[in-house]
Structure 1
Amino acid sequence: MAPPFTLRPATPPDAPALAHVHTASWRETYTGLLPQEFLAGMTDEAARERRQRMWEALAADPPQIILVAEQEGEVVAFASGGPARDHPGVDAELYTLYALKSAQGQGIGQALLHALARELQASGASKLALWVLDQNPTRDWYARRGAREAGEKTQPLPTGGELREVRMVWDNLAQLR
């Protein structure tokens, strides 16, 4: 049986753990889905250090909501969200939702998504959107939780090739509560 988990707001001292989960989950999720050279640049030690500085700054003066999930005192997953950046007609965006492979399948991601939805709704948001890599298995996970596909975008990778992302939308944020 998996250990229980707790959710709480992130704080600046969580930055190293957030950076670890961020880069480790990229390696665990995107190996074989993204070009190896690009993935290596997004998950190496320099990337982890950049992400640590980013999460430290965001947790210190959050323009967004950042929640962490802990098991046995260790951060194993996190989610962040805030105002929608490029989703016309939508007022909130799920920026990140990452969990270590060892923490998946235990309801942690769903608990983070629901908690974030409650926070966003409390701040006045009514619709939620996110971008997900078209080949990411999590795309189906979002759909099973009520999100619908609503467009796509393609962007070139600096190492060659391109990323295709799909917009997923919940038209009623209350359905995630």
Structure 2
Amino acid sequence: MAPPFTLRPATPPDAPALAHVHTASWRETYTGLLPQEFLAGMTDDAARERRQRMWEVLAADPSQIVLVTQQDGEVVAFASGGPARDHPGVDAELYTLYALKSAHGQGLGRALLHALARELHLGGANSLALWVLDQNPTRQWYARQGAREAGEKTQPLPAGGELREVRMVWDNLAQLR
């Protein structure tokens, strides 16, 4: 049986743990899906340090919602969201939702998604969108949570190749509360 988890708002002192989960989950999720050179640059020590500085700022930013789940006192998953950046007609965006592979299948992602949706809805948002890598297995998970596919974008990767992402949208954020 999995240990129970707690869900709470992140604070700047959580930044090292957020950076760890962020880079570790990238390695666990994207190995074999992204070019190794690109992935290495996104998950090495320098990337972890950059992400730590980023999370120190974002966890203190009132325009962002950053939530963490902990098991046995350790951060094992997190989610963040705020105003939609490049989703026309959508109010809010799920910027990140990452969990260590050891925490998968325990309901943490669903709890984070629903808690974030509640916070965004309380702030006046009625719809939510995110970009997900087209090959990411969580694409189907988002669909099972009620999101629909609504377009895609492609970006070139610095190491060659391209990154294709699919927009997932919840038209009625109240469904996730």
Aligned residue pairs, count = 177
1:166 is aligned with what amino acid?
V
Q: Partner of 2:5 in structure 1?
A: 5
CA RMSD of aligned residues (A): 0.5
Cα distance between partner residues in 2 of 1:58 and 1:64? 7
User: Which amino acid is the alignment partner of residue 47 of structure 1?
Assistant: A
User: Matched residues in 2 for 1:152 and 1:61: separation?
Assistant: 29
The alignment partner of 1:69 has SS state of strand
* 2:98 matches 1:98: yes
2:37 corresponds to 1:37: yes
TM-score norm. by structure 2 comes to: 0.99
Distance in 1, matches of 2:38 and 2:53, equals: 21
Q: Which runs of 5+ in 1 are unaligned?
A: none
Q: Distance in 2 between matches of 1:145 and 1:20?
A: 26
What is the identity, as a one-letter code, of the residue corresponding to 1:10? A
Using the TM superposition, give the Cα deviation of residue 44 of structure 1 relative to its aligned residue in structure 2, in angstroms: 0.1
Structure 1 position 63, deviation (Å): 2.4
State yes or no: 1:72 paired with 2:76: no
Counterparts of 1:123-134 in structure 2, within 5 Å, are 123-134=123-134
Identity of aligned residues (%): 90
* CA deviation profile, 1:114-160 (whole Å, cap 9, x unmatched): 00000000000000000000000000000001000000000000111
- C-alpha distance in structure 2 between counterparts of 1:77 and 1:48, whole Å: 16
Q: TM-score, normalised on structure 1?
A: 0.99
How far 1:99 moved relative to its partner?
0.1
Segments of 4+ moved more than 6 angstroms: none
